[in-house]
Amino acid sequence: MATINFGGVLEQVVTREEFPMEKAREVLKNEVIAVIGYGVQGPGQALNLKDNGFNVIVGQRKNSKTWDKAVADGWVPGETLFDIEEAAQKGTIIQFLLSDAGQITLWPTLKQYLTPGKALYFSHGFGITYKEQTGIIPPADVDVILVAPKGSGTSLRRLFLAGQGLNSSFAIFQDATGRAKERVVALGIGVGSGYLFETDFKKEVFSDLTGERGSLMGCIQGIFAAQYETLRKNGHSPSEAFNETVEELTQSLMPLVAENGMDWMYANCSTTAQRGALDWWKKFKTATQPVFDELYASVAAGKEAARSIASNSTPDYREKLNEELRELRESEMWQAGAAVRKLRPNNA
């Protein structure tokens, strides 16, 4: 592992230079990787592994939309695409990539295929960390490992096709074979990680749930909505309000942050923008810090997990979800966004 200085804190990470693809293939040359679930993470990870030369099969329910998607992606029924139970039986590494609610439902079926020496792989620490609520307790004679790409499966695949990588965390919950670490690192390289940093299942899920509800999704939508509303009620047009709230951030400024950091982005903006950002960012931190502290405490106490399990397991979950998403989609701000996107050159 390489030692990297992260803002004065030394951290051990695994890079492709020290653990090249050839080494990953050698580690997993006798393994059959069964990807169970073809929804959010499944397609990107399965396709990247296949393209990188690993022995991969997909397990999915027949006569489902995701089965049809897998066929459209090139997986061949009876050869590389099987029913979930058959794929789980064939796999020596079972990548359990269903939704958290889906994992709870399938667990009684899946666990019978976890024979000694196999590896159970997750991309989220939810099922193991909240085992009292999920009932997911693996047998003691299998490796239990995790690789969590820091982004969606769609992003993982797009970056792979562009010759890039998406950073991932990895963790070992149970090392029954003595090979858990080489297995998990090889899988992390195989799915297309830029680099891998070590964590544990609990820290992964605590940071993930906080991030999703915070700066990655929940918080940023709330900030967008608040600024847009302030601009609109002060007479600004939908186009102006959306461009100043969302479009400039996502299309112009965030790429600069990704390139060289926030300070570099500030340095490449006008002096007026710099002054305002430097004057106001601490006010926003002060205002939101209590909310983030409350959020993390709720995650750590298992309250967010309980709410997710309860809501995602109801028969009308999809209908309620679609209604909430419709509220976002049909809001003036995101209707303005749809119009703005159509006006981008080549509808980028």
206-249 pLDDT, tens digit per residue, is 999 999 999 999 999 999 999 999 999 999 999 999 999 999 99
Is it the case that residue 122 has pLDDT exceeding 70?
yes
Beta-carbon count within 10 A of 242 CB: 25
Is it the case that residue 1 has pLDDT exceeding 80?
no
Catalytic residue among 19, 45, 122, 124: 124
Polymer length in residues for the chain:
348
* pLDDT of the residue at 53: 97
Range 302-306 contact pairs with CB under 8 angstroms and sequence separation of 24 or more:
302/130, 302/132, 302/133, 304/209, 304/213, 305/126, 305/129, 305/130, 305/133, 305/209, 306/133
- Residue whose token pair is 């020290």: 18
Structural domains of the chain in order of their starting residue, each with its CATH number:
2-200 (3.40.50.720), 212-347 (1.10.1040.10)
Two structure tokens written together for 74 = 């090139």
More confident call, 45 vs 11 = 45
Q: Which pLDDT band, with edges at 50, 70 and 90, does 312 fall under?
A: confident
Mean pLDDT in the chain? Answer: 94
Residues ≥6 apart with Cβ < 8 Å to 88: 34, 36, 59, 94, 110, 113
- Residue whose token pair is 């982005």: 265
Q: What is the pLDDT averaged over residues 162-189?
A: 96
> What would the pLDDT profile of 13-25 be if each residue is shown by its tens digit?
998 898 999 999 9
Residue 124 appears among annotated catalytic residues: yes
> What would the pLDDT profile of 26-44 be if each residue is shown by its tens digit?
999 999 999 999 988 999 9
Q: Which pLDDT band, with edges at 50, 70 and 90, does 156 fall under?
A: very high
| In the chain, % of residues over pLDDT 70 | 99
Beta-carbon count within 10 A of 148 CB: 24
> What would the pLDDT profile of 248-307 be if each residue is shown by its tens digit?
999 999 999 988 999 999 999 999 999 999 999 999 999 999 999 999 999 999 999 999
* pLDDT of the residue at 32: 98
**Contact assessment for residue 85 and residue 108, using Cβ atoms and an 8 Å cutoff:** no
- Highest-pLDDT range among 2-11, 16-25, 311-320: 16-25
pTM for the model: 0.89
Q: Which pLDDT band, with edges at 50, 70 and 90, does 5 fall under?
A: confident
Q: What is the pLDDT averaged over residues 105-129?
A: 96
Beta-carbon count within 10 A of 182 CB: 16
| In the chain, % of residues over pLDDT 90 | 88
Q: Which pLDDT band, with edges at 50, 70 and 90, does 178 fall under?
A: very high
Q: Which pLDDT band, with edges at 50, 70 and 90, does 313 fall under?
A: confident
* pLDDT of the residue at 77: 96
* pLDDT of the residue at 348: 53
